[in-house]
Amino acid sequence: MGELRGFLKYNKKVSGYREVKERLKDYREVIKRLPQEELTQQAARCMDCGTPFCHSFGCPLANLIPEWNDAVYRGLWDEAYDRLELTSNFPEITGRICPAPCESACTLSINDAPVSIKEIEIAIIETAFSKGWVVPQAPRRESGKKVAVVGSGPAGLAAAQQLRRMGHQVTVYEKDNAPGGILRYGIPEFKLEKTIIDRRLEIYRQEGIEFEMNVVVGEDISARYLRRKHDAVVLALGCRVPRPIPVPGSESEGVYFALDYLSGATKNLYGELSDREMVTAKDKTVLVLGGGDTGADCVGTANRQGAKKVYQFEILPKPTEWDKSWNPEWPYYPKIYRTASSHYEGCERRWQIKTKKLYGRGVSIEKGIFCEINWSKDSAGRWQQQEIPDSEFTLDIDMVLVAAGFVQVEPSKLLKDFNLQLNERGTINIDEHFHTSAEGVFAAGDAVSGASLVVKAMNQGRSLADNVNEYLW
Amino acid sequence: MNIHTGLYDPSFEHDACGVGFIANVNGEKTHSIIENSISALINLEHRGAVGGDMKTGDGAGILLQIPDEFFRATVDFTLPTAGTYGAGMFFLPPEKKLLKKSISLVEEATSEEGGIFLGWRDVPINTEALGETALQSLPTIKQAFFSFEGAQGEILERRLYILRKTMEARAENAGLDINSFYIPSLSARTIVYKGMFVSTQFTDFYPDVTDHRFKSAIALVHQRYSTNTFPSWPLSQPFRYIAHNGEINTLRRNMNNMRARESSISSPYFGEEIHKITPIVNPDASDSAIFDSVYELLVQGGRDLSHSMMMMVPEAFGSRYHISEDKRAFYEYEAAIMEPWDGPAAIVFTDGTRIGATLDRNGLRPGRYVITKSGQVVLASEVGVIDIPPEDVIEKGRLAPGRMFVVDTEKQRVIKDNALKASVSRGKPYRHWLEKNRIELKGLFGLPSPAHLDKETLSTRQRAFGYSIEDMVDIITPMALKGQEPIGSMGNDAALAVLSDRPQLLYDYFKQMFAQVTNPPIDAYRESLVMSLMSFVGRERNLLEETPEHCRQLKLAHPILTNDDLNHVRNTYIPNFKVKTVSILFPRSEEEKGDLQNALERVCSEVEAGIDEGCELLILSDRNITADQIPIPALLAMGAVQQHLVACGKRHLSGIIIETGEAREVHHFATLVGYGASGINPYLVFESLVDLKQRGYIPEDITIEEATENYINAVKKGLLKVMSKMGISTLRSYRGSQMYEALGLNSEFMSSYFPSTASRIEGIGIDTIEKETIERHTSGFRFDEKRLDHLDSGGIYRYRKNTTKHRFTPLAIIKLQEAVRTGSYSAFKEYSAEINDIEHNLCSLRGLFTFKDADPVPLEEVEPEEEIVKRFASAAMSFGSLSEEAHTTIAIAMNRLGAMSNSGEGGEDNQRYEALESGDTAVSKVKQIASGRFGVTGEYLVHAEELQIKMAQGAKPGEGGQLPGYKVNDIIARVRHSTPGVMLISPPPHHDIYSIEDLAQLIYDLKHANPKARVSVKLVSEVGVGTIAAGVAKGKADMVLISSGEGGTGASPLSSLRHAGSYWELGLSETQQTLVNNNLRGNIKVQVDGQLRTGRDLVIAALLGAEEFGFGTVTLVSIGCVLMRQCHLNSCPVGVATQDPELRKRFKGTPEHLMNFMLYLAREVREIMASLGFRKFDEMVGRVDMLNMNKAINHYKAKGLDFSKLLYQRDRQESVPIRCIEQIKPDFSTTLDSRFIKEARSAIENHKPVHLKAEVRNYNRTIGAMLSSEVSRRYGEAGLPEDCIKVDMKGSAGQSFGAFLAHGITFTLEGEANDYFGKGLSGGKLIVYPPAESKFLAHKNIITGNVNLFGATGGEAFINGTAGERFAVRNSGAVAVVEGVGDHGCEYMTGGAVIVLGQTGINFAAGMSGGVAFVLDENQLFDTRCNLEMVDVEQITEEKDEEFLKKYINRHIEYTGSRHARHLMEMWEEIVPLFVKVMPLDYRIALMKAEGEAKQVQGVNNG
């Protein structure tokens, strides 16, 4: 275990962000790192619990957090990496973007500040990269079986690597220019630099995973052909259909879905999209609808593009403000008011705001009418909203970004060709072995469970791989 | 009646007793000897017990010389001259046909053996004296007489011996078992009268013994207290040579060895007839009977009476004993021939002319003797059993540990220990023989060189042997760093091996047994000098001979061999000592199964071939595993070889050493040795140590050599711990003793490889074990799929998802806390659903039960929750382990519910006896009395509603514990009557409970100390716990608690946490069955605890027979515990189990939380009750017919389980209750205390002094406790003013004289006292001196028994004479003056002062952490007898010490009139320098610190 009573001796430390002024000028990562000595101390705060909630309840991947904490405390970075690598296919990514339910569930979160698990995680994997420990692990034996993985988001990538390491020949099909899915195109550069993904993909390639880019399965190649060419097909399509907002005028020019906006920004950064094709917030008054993480990403991106002013409205009430280090809802991820790095960069946030109407004249949106609402429960216990009288207000805006979540898997020819059953939520139905209704076709990730955390998708990808492997043997 | 069905097995029966003898030294035969011996027997009656019918005794008997005159007068045929005929006592079957058959069997055998059958005599008996159960099994009792032409003396004895053996063999062939045909004695010298009654019925039953013509010079008596009452006439004592008060813990080992040896015994005395006397032992007999049979063989085989006893019950002869080299050599030589019959024992033995007694090495049974001027010697478990005028006494003594003495009526002398043993140990040149023949390899056990590390393949091999990260980091590393086993907390809720989805090591299916009640565990640390790991390895030779070659064996100091050691043994050329290695690997074949079994057969035959080739040592090796060569589980290989060799009679011809990569934790080594291994080389551990060193887990300041040595030391300590918890002192007798219970292995498998180990619920067999073995091996070598070059997490000690299943999942903890905090029953249901989810989390046996269908009743008709919770108790968790906040929160919650809370073993702050401002009370209703007796004062006892004697605790049954000094803060010290900062030790045994009758005595004491409280006894489940519970019931406890070995919140060595003790499902069921079968259940309640979590658990327990329920872990989780399992580290982050003031602030639990839990639990119970059709809880208790086993579970291992023994129910007899219906209220109205209370009323009520007088006898026990309870109830600890109640007594006082005596009461005793004098003395004053008429030197003679002042917290004692063993053990406040003490004086003392004006025994001050002792060291040898580990011995230099001594010695003179003390005071200046002061090191530091602080405070005040 870490140091006995280390949690009483050392305080939690976090690295924090680069200066706002400085970071707004570029798209580089906003987060800083703690030096290694500090991390040893932070790891010493781990109590190596008899029942580690971080590992067993918080982390969907069941990362062996106490084990790598202990190794870091002992200075055994290589062993820490070994333990980390066991459950995670790309910790350098989760270490950057995961909301860290592990820390919310950390036993210390009951009445103290949790162990800085995320900081330690990223330090382990970055150390491993810098020391050259992250090497391809090609399988020791080829099974001779072929697997197609459709989609290269977290679930697809995790499944692909697991399956490859089990000895199968894996081809990943991706409709975009480069693999990564939501990781690449959904998460802004300042939170996850794409070179991080590329570094990992290089390992994948060296392990022998094939990537077929710009292929829309079902159109460029037929589903039947794909199935015939492979012993198993894995669908990791994501859950890309955004939730529309029921607001008159929302179809106007200048109203964009967040993901389209964000991926455009990234594509532009990497030369996949010209400046002209890209939607930019430069010199615009931007309204982000939706108070979640994606909304925050839009705020950060808009500010970097040079927006004049950014608003972020959320229809739900403002979560409880909480300035204590401990988690009032331990071990759950608490519903508390959070401030993302992007919010510090300039943004007006409001809650309980309903968008009543958006007005566009000619090509672009010009203003919106809003009001304040109250939430209360009706007799059946359902939440109901009531407009607050006389709260209506109008705002001049040039651009609206809708970040209201996602509802379902994109309908496609692929789904139709495999004749896949979808459920009422619009995601793919699978059995307990991740098997879809089509023989030899498996699915995992957001396509199955709806939009959720990267770690959850990864975990599904890994579990799917075990099942596919069993299927193939 | 087939009593073997269900979980009860007669082989679990225990007994203990009163023993004694009387002899005329000059050999004169008198009838008065018999009369006296019977009155002695009657006065020992309280040491016996009666059964459920309240009349059937457990047995009593007398062994006498042949009463020639009487026989001549009463037989209707002519007897030859005395000494030329043998008389036999026969227990024959009552049925006519069988009786006839038996009679002719006897007669035929006689003529066939060349004897002359002289005739039968019907022994007159009076059956009215018998109880119902005894009557049912009453045999036909006859005597028969035999002669052999011209034979007399030893020759005749031998003929009669062969004749008896022949008859026994014939009877067995004729289908007559020991209960149908039994010969209590057949000899020309002695005859035995015995039966199933209590001593008072003796003369009524056998009128023979009242005939004045019935004369004898010796009489050996025995009064039995058995744990249960299936009547067995043959098993009452005495046997033919001995009577035994004790327990042979290593019986299995001894019996197996005897079986093996039978093939190689020969003797000129028997010649060709040797085969007639085998088998020597009858496995159905009791331990004492078997001991008797072997002793008989040795004596008949030509060894002297004392020599044979010294072989079987050797005293300790380690280097710390100052004994003669010849004697040491003798014992060592004999160690190569026979292992000790280990266990607590007082044995009285005789051959008809000589009679003697001996005590085991630990002195765990009492034996007091008196030698009179008129030429009699009386020895008994207690003094005062017969009246002897004081002026007639020459000497009063006691049997000391390992000592022996004999009365030789032929030589007309009393021969003491030294004389006896010198003549035996110099009878042959043993020392010379040993020096010439014993093999001691030079360099063996030297400093180990680092093992060779093959890092490339290390993890592959580790995985193949099932290593996990936990094994490396949490087991091996701490052992290598600290030289001891790692500690853990919060019990073990991991899935049973047989329910685990992961391949388990075979060791995991075996549970360690442990001593509880019927014999004490030993303190392997503080009493290490009686322990020994030494053994001889090699070929054993003819038992009935003694030659120099007998000791041609390899001596091993301990059984853990380094790689160097093993190479040394393997490669050194030793003449006449051949070594062979047999591989225990097996190839993987295409076959589905059968490979393992074939391999075992191959191993067995190779081993046997090796022995036939003359190998003295065989090494079973799993070195060189490869992907295709799989290791046989080492324990299985050992079991198979052991079993094979025992069966073919070759086990004793060779030693077995195991070279294995598998063994790594203490339990592994302990089981291997327990099943017969002489040595173990854990080579993979040694290699792993090198790896750990390279990876930095072993820090730089510990070299790899040191780490290796530390590891070995940790294993050695662990082995000693395992042995000592079983009550075994020497590895020689532990080896092969098989003190384990198997769980989840089927009987076919067990009978093939572990035939004498109980396995009661069936389970997997060889095929599944093969499957698990291959799976484990494959996971080691399976590189080709996933990258697997790492070790598994393990998840046993710390929860890991997707590894080992645990009953308490993270989700269950979360849901439970949510439920109790938000008051949500639906969250509680989520919690209980999670725990009960056997689909995903089948961990325990109860998961496999289902309820039978029944007609439900409406919920409203079921007993309300508020009633049900009254059956609930919080488990015993001491304030000391828990924070004050947590402890009081629990007490308040339980009190509000009308349920029970438990103080735990650390005493209780007397401020809690007051009600709180809120109207709540934080007093614990249940007060625990544990081995440490911390804070057990008279006041503590009267503030209880229940007094609970903790015999064992689930976390570490059979082990003691210690509270490190840093945890003993001011308040804990105050409550425990100790000093802040000074370590406190809880001894493994209660030093007043070495046997079942001792427990009965403590129950008796406690009922006096608080007549209003009920008394309960806490036991831990293990095979045989039911019979112990029966003993507890007979000891008149009100409740017995069956605790699960898996439970336990206390800190404990990890291997004990996991591997010691069984599960409550089994223990409870066995208890219920045994109590019901014995018709004892109606008078005693049964409580159960151990990982109880949900209503379902409770209902199952109730149906199995429990009416009350205890909760430990779940109680803590309700108030905030998150199962950190680190309570022992004082770092609890939620303030539950810590004394750290900062962390205590984090405690957030409230009484409401716990109340919610208890009420929800009751609600759930209610719901199930309704569905099962029970309206009242009581209706449900014991209704095992409502349970079924869930056959639907499709778990590859669980499907072999069979609960039929658990669910067994004898045909219900309505008259026999299956739950407690009436508790017996003790009647103390006739005791001395009742009289005292009446006569001292004015003192008790108005402080008006009284002075009383009384005559006492040994059956007046526990004098003063009830009187004191009247005082402490009123005045608390302060009691009455000094000498307010004075009682002068005369005579021999019974046990527990002055127990818990309160301040203000003074007892003066002119005479003597038995064991437990001044137990728990709580402020009173005790004075004892010999009768004025006595002529002996008081200070040279014994006056009080063993274990004086045990757990005394205050008061004074003045003893004009010598006291027995363990004087002032665990004293924490009393001041005592005594004129000599036995072994282990002042053991574990933490406070008070002891002045010894004379000799002490060995091991003085062992574990003494506080208080002070002054010893008069006249011959300046004290430091050789003192255990210096924790104390300093110094001169008296300080004036205040001298003043203290003077003051108390003067008081001693004043009170007792001691001549010795007066003499000392007269020459004080010369005497002072001879005194030494014994001062505990920690205590001195703590005192200095306290003094410094006091001075500082003073300084501040003055400044």
- A107 vs B1133: CB contact, 8 Å cut-off? yes
A-B Cβ pairs (cutoff 8 Å, strict) = 102
Digit-coded pLDDT (tens) for B111-124 = 999 999 999 999 99
* Continuous H helices in B990-1035: 996-1009, 1025-1034
For residue A388, pLDDT beyond 50: yes
DSSP sequence for B1292-1317: EE-SSTTTTPBTTEEEEEEEEE-TTT
- B1131 vs A4: CB contact, 8 Å cut-off? yes
- A7 vs B1133: CB contact, 8 Å cut-off? yes
For the segment A267-290, the average pLDDT, to the nearest whole number, is 95
For residue A336, pLDDT beyond 50: yes
Which residues of chain B have a CB within 8 Å of the CB of A331? 810, 814
Nearest to A76 among B696, B801, B809 (CB): B696
Paired residues of A400 in beta bridges: A255, A287
Alpha carbon of B482: minimum distance to chain A alpha carbons (Å): 16
For the segment B556-569, the average pLDDT, to the nearest whole number, is 93
Q: Is A146 exposed, middle or buried (0-12, 13-18, 19+ CB in 10 A)?
A: middle
**Closest A-chain CA to B1138:** A5
Alpha carbon of A13: minimum distance to chain B alpha carbons (Å): 19
Identity of residue A285: T
Which residues of chain B have a CB within 8 Å of the CB of A110? 1122, 1133-1134, 1146
Look over chain B and give the mean of its residue pLDDT values, rounded to a whole number: 92
For residue B55, pLDDT beyond 90: no
Three-state DSSP class for residue A386: strand
**Closest A-chain CA to B1130:** A5
More confident of the two residues B449 and B1183: B1183
Cis peptide before A331 (omega within 30 of 0): yes
pLDDT score, position B756: 87
**Closest B-chain CA to A110:** B1134
Which residues of chain B have a CB within 8 Å of the CB of A66? 798
pLDDT confidence tier of residue B456, bands split at 50, 70 and 90: confident
Catalytic residues of B: 17
| Rounded Cα–Cα distance for residues B620 and B677 (Å) | 10
For the segment B685-693, the average pLDDT, to the nearest whole number, is 96
pLDDT confidence tier of residue B1, bands split at 50, 70 and 90: very low
Closest listed residue to residue B1076, CA positions, set B1019, B1030, B1028, B1037: B1030
* Orientation angle between helical segments B287-300 and B251-261, nearest 10 degrees: 40
pLDDT score, position B1500: 53
Which residues of chain B have a CB within 8 Å of the CB of A138? none
For residue B784, pLDDT beyond 60: no
DSSP sequence for B549-615: GGG-SEEESSSB--HHHHHHHHHS--TT-EEEEEE-EEE--SSSS-HHHHHHHHHHHHHHHHHHTTE
Terminal Cα distance for chain B, rounded: 85
> Burial letters for B62-81: b for 16+ Cβ neighbours within 10 Å, e otherwise?
bbbbbbbbbbeebbeeebee
User: What is the sign of the dihedral through the CA atoms of B1411, B1416, B1420 and B1425?
Assistant: negative
**Closest B-chain CA to A165:** B786
For residue B15, pLDDT beyond 90: no
For residue B838, pLDDT beyond 90: no
- The verdict on A66 touching B (C-beta cutoff 8 Å) is yes
- The verdict on A331 touching B (C-beta cutoff 8 Å) is yes
| Rounded Cα–Cα distance for residues B1078 and B1083 (Å) | 11
| Rounded Cα–Cα distance for residues B163 and B157 (Å) | 10
**Closest A-chain CA to B799:** A51
Digit-coded pLDDT (tens) for B893-905 = 999 999 999 999 8
Are the C-beta atoms of residues B29 and B215 closer than 8 Å to each other? yes
pLDDT confidence tier of residue A389, bands split at 50, 70 and 90: very high
Q: What count of Cα atoms within 13 Å lies in the side-chain half-sphere of residue B662?
A: 31
Closest listed residue to residue B988, CA positions, set B949, B948, B961: B961
**Closest A-chain CA to B697:** A74
| Rounded Cα–Cα distance for residues B903 and B876 (Å) | 6
* Local structure of residue A79 (DSSP, 8 states): H
Are the C-beta atoms of residues B1337 and B1316 closer than 8 Å to each other? no
Instruction: Give Cα separations from A470 to A156, A433, A438, A457 (angstroms).
Output: 18, 9, 17, 20
Angle among Cα B1084, B1090, B1094 to the nearest 5 degrees reads 100
Chain B: residues touching A (Cβ < 8 Å): 469, 473, 489-490, 695-697, 783-787, 790, 793, 797-802, 808-811, 813-814, 1122-1126, 1129, 1131, 1133-1134, 1142-1143, 1146, 1148
DSSP sequence for B1424-1479: HHB-TTSEEEEE---HHHHHHHHHHHHHHHHHH--HHHHHHHHTHHHHGGGEEEEE
- The answer for A 451-470 residues in CB contact with B (under 8 A) is 469
Three-state DSSP class for residue B954: coil
Are the C-beta atoms of residues B556 and B673 closer than 8 Å to each other? no
* Orientation angle between helical segments B884-897 and B1151-1172, nearest 10 degrees: 40
Alpha carbon of A75: minimum distance to chain B alpha carbons (Å): 9
pLDDT score, position B730: 93
- B1131 vs A140: CB contact, 8 Å cut-off? no
| Rounded Cα–Cα distance for residues A299 and A292 (Å) | 11
- A469 vs B785: CB contact, 8 Å cut-off? yes
For residue A459, pLDDT beyond 50: yes
pLDDT confidence tier of residue B53, bands split at 50, 70 and 90: low
Look over chain A and give the mean of its residue pLDDT values, rounded to a whole number: 94
| Rounded Cα–Cα distance for residues B1499 and B1203 (Å) | 72
- A50 vs B1126: CB contact, 8 Å cut-off? yes
- The answer for A 126-155 residues in CB contact with B (under 8 A) is 137, 139-141
pLDDT confidence tier of residue B3, bands split at 50, 70 and 90: very low
For residue B1502, pLDDT beyond 70: no
CB atoms within 10 A of CB A388: 13
Digit-coded pLDDT (tens) for B700-727 = 999 999 999 999 999 999 999 999 999 9
- The verdict on A107 touching B (C-beta cutoff 8 Å) is yes
What is the token pair recorded at A368?
């919106």
Q: Best mutation site among A56, A135, A468 for testing chain B: the one with the most B CBs within 10 Å? A: A56
Residues 6+ apart with CB under 8 A from B460: B780, B781, B783, B789
Digit-coded pLDDT (tens) for B1012-1021 = 999 999 999 9
| Rounded Cα–Cα distance for residues A54 and A39 (Å) | 18
| Rounded Cα–Cα distance for residues B361 and B729 (Å) | 9
- B785 vs A166: CB contact, 8 Å cut-off? yes
For residue B1503, pLDDT beyond 50: no
**Closest B-chain CA to A163:** B786
* Largest pairwise CA distance in chain A: 72
Closest listed residue to residue B900, CA positions, set B869, B879, B861, B929: B869
Nearest to B799 among A56, A82, A137 (CB): A56
pLDDT score, position B1493: 75
pLDDT score, position B448: 82
- The verdict on A257 touching B (C-beta cutoff 8 Å) is no
Which H, E and C letters describe B122-155, residue by residue?
A: ECCCCHHHCCHHHHHCCCEEEEEEEECCCCCHHH
Which residues of chain B have a CB within 8 Å of the CB of A70? 473
Task: Determine which helix (DSSP H) or strand (DSSP E) holds B43, and give its type and residue range.
Answer: helix B31-43
DSSP sequence for A255-275: EEEHHHHHHHHHHHHTTSS-T
Closest listed residue to residue B523, CA positions, set B717, B345, B360, B721: B721
pLDDT score, position B1499: 56
Residues 6+ apart with CB under 8 A from B983: B962, B963, B964, B965, B968, B1409, B1482
What is the token pair recorded at B1411?
């208080």
- B1133 vs A166: CB contact, 8 Å cut-off? no
| Rounded Cα–Cα distance for residues B1459 and A31 (Å) | 89
For residue B432, pLDDT beyond 70: yes
Closest listed residue to residue B188, CA positions, set B274, B109, B85: B85
More confident of the two residues A463 and B525: A463
* Percent of chain A residues past pLDDT 70, beyond the cut: 99
Are the C-beta atoms of residues B618 and B727 closer than 8 Å to each other? no
- The verdict on A5 touching B (C-beta cutoff 8 Å) is yes
- Strands ordered across the beta sheet of A169-173: A210-212, A169-173, A146-150, A232-235, A441-443
- B784 vs A67: CB contact, 8 Å cut-off? no
- A86 vs B1146: CB contact, 8 Å cut-off? no
Closest listed residue to residue B1098, CA positions, set B904, B891, B868: B868
Are the C-beta atoms of residues A285 and A396 closer than 8 Å to each other? yes
Nearest to A4 among B489, B784, B1129 (CB): B1129
Digit-coded pLDDT (tens) for B662-677 = 999 999 999 999 999 9
pLDDT score, position B371: 96
Nearest to B1122 among A7, A51, A86 (CB): A51
Digit-coded pLDDT (tens) for A243-252 = 999 999 998 8
Alpha carbon of B797: minimum distance to chain A alpha carbons (Å): 7
- B814 vs A57: CB contact, 8 Å cut-off? yes
User: What is the sign of the dihedral through the CA atoms of B1277, B1279, B1283 and B1289?
Assistant: negative
For the segment A328-341, the average pLDDT, to the nearest whole number, is 95
User: What is the sign of the dihedral through the CA atoms of B1466, B1470, B1476 and B1477?
Assistant: positive
For residue B230, pLDDT beyond 70: no
Nearest to B1146 among A47, A86, A111 (CB): A111
pLDDT score, position B474: 93
For the segment B561-578, the average pLDDT, to the nearest whole number, is 88
Terminal Cα distance for chain A, rounded: 39
Closest listed residue to residue B1297, CA positions, set B1323, B1329, B1321, B1332: B1321
DSSP sequence for B854-907: -----GGGS--HHHHGGGEEE----BTTB-HHHHHHHHHHHHHHT-B-B--SS-
Which residues of chain B have a CB within 8 Å of the CB of A140? 783-784
What is the token pair recorded at B765?
């067999």
* Percent of chain B residues past pLDDT 70, beyond the cut: 98
Are the C-beta atoms of residues B215 and B69 closer than 8 Å to each other? yes
- A5 vs B1131: CB contact, 8 Å cut-off? yes
Instruction: Give Cα separations from A427 to A240, A241, A444, A448 (angstroms).
Output: 10, 11, 10, 5
pLDDT score, position B1199: 86
| Rounded Cα–Cα distance for residues A265 and A274 (Å) | 10
Q: Best mutation site among B458, B477, B785, B1125 for testing chain A: the one with the most A CBs within 10 Å? A: B785
Digit-coded pLDDT (tens) for B294-312 = 999 999 999 999 999 999 9
Which residues of chain A have a CB within 8 Å of the CB of B805? none
Three-state DSSP class for residue A106: coil
| Rounded Cα–Cα distance for residues A101 and B597 (Å) | 50
- B811 vs A57: CB contact, 8 Å cut-off? yes
